């Protein structure tokens, strides 16, 4: 009997280095960071403030370039891509969830989830169908016509999660997604993320 080969990593980080200059002082945030993350995995980055967790996520999401090292997404060395090509990879392959939801205040919950799908090229009908499915899964079927200001913090974050997974990204990056919520709501958001991952998004 032959074992099934392990799938290729969705994200591979190779010897990442990143530092900043503060006055006359050089602060090295990442010093040779390497890791590989595989399909279906849920991984948490733990460490004190200033340890470089957010910097690592920014670089992994192609929002910032490392000083040295490589970021490979689905085997593609993204450091060799142009800014335009990196934007396309972000749009097609990566979903983002932040501590603050960053929803567009003038749009409803449904419209916030529809918009990234329209940018990707789906029809409005396709995008609305997908958005309604996701919002229903996240328990927001009666709130999708509400604007962000009319939603609770937990509801806003659930809309942000729906938006992040709407395009079926291979990689979902979450930077303190529950940090602005109470403990019970934060736990529910974490469980929703795990459930979406287990179900394949």
pLDDT, residue 38, reads 92
Specify the CATH number for 83-201; select among 1.10.3210.10, 3.20.20.100, 3.40.50.300, 2.30.30.90.
3.40.50.300
CB count within 10 Å of CB 167 equals 20
Going by C-alpha positions, the residue among 65, 68, 76 that lies closest to residue 10 is 76
Q: What pTM value is reported for the model?
A: 0.81
Which top CATH class is 1-81? alpha beta
pLDDT in tens, 143-198: 999 999 999 988 998 899 899 989 888 899 988 777 777 788 778 777 877 777 77
- Give kind and range of the element (H or E) at residue 185: helix 183-198
Q: Where are the domains of the chain?
A: 1-81, 83-201
Q: Do domains 1-81 and 83-201 have the same CATH topology?
A: yes
């Amino acid at each position: 009997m032959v074992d099934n080969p392990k799938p290729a990593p969705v994200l591979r980080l190779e010897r990442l280095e990143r530092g900043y200059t503060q006055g006359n002082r050089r602060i090295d945030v990442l010093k040779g960071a390497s890791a590989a993350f595989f399909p279906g995995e849920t991984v948490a980055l733990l460490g004190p403030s200033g340890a470089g967790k957010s910097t690592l996520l920014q670089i992994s999401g192609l929002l910032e370039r490392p000083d040295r090292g490589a970021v490979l997404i689905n085997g593609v060395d993204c450091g060799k891509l142009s800014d335009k090509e990196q934007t396309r990879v972000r749009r097609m392959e990566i979903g983002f969830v932040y501590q603050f939801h960053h929803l567009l205040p003038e749009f409803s919950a449904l419209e916030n989830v529809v918009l990234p799908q329209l940018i990707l090229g789906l029809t409005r009908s396709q995008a609305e169908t997908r958005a309604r499915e996701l919002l229903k899964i996240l328990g927001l079927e009666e709130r999708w016509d509400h604007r962000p200001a009319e939603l609770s913090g937990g509801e806003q974050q659930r809309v942000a999660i729906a938006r992040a997974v709407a395009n079926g990204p291979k990689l979902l990056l979450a930077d303190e997604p529950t940090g602005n919520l109470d403990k019970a709501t934060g736990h529910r958001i974490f469980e929703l993320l795990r459930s979406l991952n287990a179900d394949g998004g």
